[in-house]
Amino acid sequence: MRGLAVFVTLVCLATAQHQALIDYLERRLITIEDRISQWHEQATRYASDLRELKQQMLSQLENLDKEKETLRMNLDNVGTRVDRVERELDYLETQNGAQPCVDVDDKLIEQQVTLVKEKQKAKYSKLSDCSDMISSVKAMKILKRVGGLKGMWSKDASRSSGKVYIFNGTNEDTIHEFASVQDFTRSLGLSLSKDLKLPSAWSGTGHVVYKNHVYYVNQAEEITVVKYDIKNNSVTDSAVFPVQDHVSVYGLTPETLMDLAVDEEGLWAIYATRQNERHISLAKMDSRSLDIEQMWDTNCPRENAEGAFVICGTLYVVYNTKQPGRSRVQCVFDVNDMVTNEDAPLIYFPKRYGAHSSLKYNPQEQLLYAWDDGYQILYKLIMKKKLEI
């Protein structure tokens, strides 16, 4: 019996030790599980922090890229403006050169001036390879009547896009854009148009649409040519025209102090000044920078002029005749001296109403877009080569 009691005692001791071991192991397991849970929470938190940090870095990189692009564009604009200022200074220096300190023979001065003009003509001739001129007006088509008595309408003179742009009035800031000529003709007034609001008002009717940009004249204290990006709805550039004492370029459209034109060679400015008040002047402009490349004084009078346009470097000035319902080209000026008034054929523009307030040539279509007392008119032109005269 005593041995049995000892055995039972030993078994109880072993059982107690075994239970103690099990309790210890359970506590250790619980501790390990707690630590694993903490590690898991920390790892999740670290992963979330890393994701947020990555998103912040990506956002900052995008902002840096945008700032870099903005800085590059600003630098390009500054470079363009510096170039334009340098050219304007060069122009002013040529217009207001220093007085000579010694007497110079007048004949020598005339020879030098003639030589400079010949060099300028030769330089421009090298840039020009267009030789078309108007032979006659084939047909006239009245599309519609919309807007006031004066205005301008056209397409983009450099593209095959069918969009039509309506500039109603002589001092407004909203262009009406139609998707096509068909939409324009079937629209009840301007109901099918999209309105494009300019940052400033235009003056006169001398605007053009060229290479997806609107070039328009703004008159405040000075005459400014504004280049407006239609696609991005922003002003790309602007430049003060480097001529003072402007007067109306056409006798019958006094609101127009400058008429911008586009032909096969690019952008032109038709204007007049008090220094040459009786006649019209012409300038070739760089459509990208708005710099003046060259200027000419023509022998075309302003009096009784309705409008003008340029084709292949030749200025055609249209005058109101005494014959009812007809306007006529009575003066031409070719910057390359290939066409003169004596050589040019008689060109009449039939019309049914008052006087043209704008005439815009489209070199892609060889059409003339005219505005006549609120009527939008198309003239189909027949062309021939200047050398065939």
Q: What is the pLDDT of residue 388?
A: 52
Q: What is the pLDDT of residue 116?
A: 44
Q: Is the pLDDT of residue 112 over 80?
A: no
Q: Is the pLDDT of residue 358 over 90?
A: yes
Q: What is the pLDDT of residue 300?
A: 95
Instruction: Please write the tens of the pLDDT for every residue from 184-232.
Output: 999 999 999 999 999 999 999 999 999 999 999 998 778 999 999 999 9
Q: What is the largest CA-CA distance in the chain?
A: 156
> Where does residue 233 rank: exposed (0-12), middle (13-18), buried (19+ CB within 10 A)?
exposed
Q: What is the pLDDT of residue 8?
A: 63
Tokens of 14: 């072993």
Query: What is the mean pLDDT of the segment spanning 244-267?
Result: 92
Instruction: Please write the tens of the pLDDT for every residue from 5-14.
Output: 666 676 666 6
Q: What is the pLDDT of residue 95?
A: 46
Please name every residue paired with 229 in a beta bridge, in sequence order, or none if there are none. Answer: 213, 234
Q: Is the pLDDT of residue 291 over 90?
A: yes
- Distance (Å, rounded) from C-alpha 110 to C-alpha 112? 5
Q: What is the pLDDT of residue 173?
A: 95
Q: What is the pLDDT of residue 162?
A: 86
Q: What is the DSSP string of 109-176?
A: HHHHHHHHHHHHHHHHHHH----EEEEEEEEEEEEEE-S-SSEEEE--TTS----EEEEESSS--EEE
Q: What is the pLDDT of residue 119?
A: 46
Q: How confident is the model at residue 377 (pLDDT cuts 50, 70, 90)?
A: very high
Q: Which 3 state secondary structure label does DSSP give 213?
A: strand
Query: What is the mean pLDDT of the segment spanning 139-146?
Result: 92
Instruction: Please write the tens of the pLDDT for every residue from 124-138.
Output: 554 557 888 999 999
Query: What is the mean pLDDT of the segment spanning 253-277?
Result: 93
Instruction: Check residues 4 and 285 and name the one with the higher pLDDT.
Output: 285
Q: What average pLDDT does the structure give for the chain?
A: 83
> Where does residue 58 rank: exposed (0-12), middle (13-18), buried (19+ CB within 10 A)?
exposed
Residues 6 or more apart in contact with residue 95 via CB below 8 angstroms:
none
Q: Is the pLDDT of residue 307 over 90?
A: yes
- Distance (Å, rounded) from C-alpha 178 to C-alpha 235? 21
Which residue type sits at 341? N
Instruction: Please write the tens of the pLDDT for every residue from 20-54.
Output: 778 788 788 888 877 887 887 787 877 778 888 88
Q: What is the pLDDT of residue 58?
A: 80
Query: What is the mean pLDDT of the segment spanning 272-293?
Result: 93
> Which secondary-structure segment (H or E) carries 48?
helix 2-95
Which residue type sits at 307? G
